[in-house]
């Protein structure tokens, strides 16, 4: 169990841990004017400069526009894979989880146990590191856990 309060904008990457398939899960105390969530399949932990230069990863966020979305960063370039409408309450506590089925290249993303996004990526990233990312300081993540069994 890990509780993290992000005091600076940005990400916390667990560089000594690896995630292959998942599920990866955390709870987040959401704020309606911020994008916060899980980052996974990160390919590097070199954050010596602006941390996304040359880095690729996926992110599953609860977004400020009342949506859940899966995105992909490829060598620093952001893109949205798929979104789902999701009403976020300021200060609400939500459980986010993701799993990756590498045999089918399908990423599944859940909020409070309910599937929000199922996305097939033919160019699946190969990174194994993971963590959390906050778009605003003071965001609290709790119970960051992972297993190697896909659910």
The tens-digit pLDDT sequence of the chain (151 residues) is 344 444 444 555 554 555 556 688 888 887 767 788 888 888 865 555 446 677 888 999 998 788 999 999 988 788 999 999 998 888 889 999 999 998 999 999 999 999 999 999 999 998 888 888 887 777 788 888 876 544 4
Q: Give the pLDDT of residue 151.
A: 42
Q: Give the pLDDT of residue 120.
A: 98
Q: Give the pLDDT of residue 60.
A: 94
The contacts of residue 142 (CB under 8 Å, 6+ apart) are: 1, 2, 3, 4, 26, 27, 28
Residue 92 CB neighbours (<10 A): 14
| Assessment of whether the complete model's pTM goes beyond 0.95 | no
Q: Give the pLDDT of residue 3.
A: 42
Q: Give the pLDDT of residue 117.
A: 97
Question: Distance (Å, rounded) from C-alpha 36 to C-alpha 63?
Answer: 7
Sheet holding 106-111, edge to edge: 4-6, 139-146, 24-29, 93-101, 106-111, 114-120
61's torsion region: left (phi>0), alpha (psi -120 to 50) or beta?
Answer: beta
């Amino acid at each position: 169990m890990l509780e993290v309060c992000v005091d600076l904008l940005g990400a916390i990457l667990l560089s000594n841990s690896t995630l292959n398939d998942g599920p990866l899960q955390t709870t987040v105390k959401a704020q309606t004017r911020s994008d916060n969530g899980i980052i996974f399949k990160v390919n590097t932990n070199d954050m010596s400069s602006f941390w996304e230069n040359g880095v690729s990863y996926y992110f599953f966020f609860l977004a400020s526009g009342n949506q859940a979305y899966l995105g992909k960063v490829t060598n620093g370039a952001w893109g949205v894979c798929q979104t789902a409408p999701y009403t976020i309450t300021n200060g609400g506590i939500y459980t986010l989880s993701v799993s990756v089925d590498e045999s089918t290249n399908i990423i599944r993303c859940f909020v409070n146990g309910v599937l929000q996004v199922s996305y097939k990526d033919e160019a699946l990233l190969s990174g194994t590191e993971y963590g959390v990312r906050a778009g605003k300081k003071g965001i609290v993540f709790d119970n960051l856990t992972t297993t190697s069994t896909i659910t």
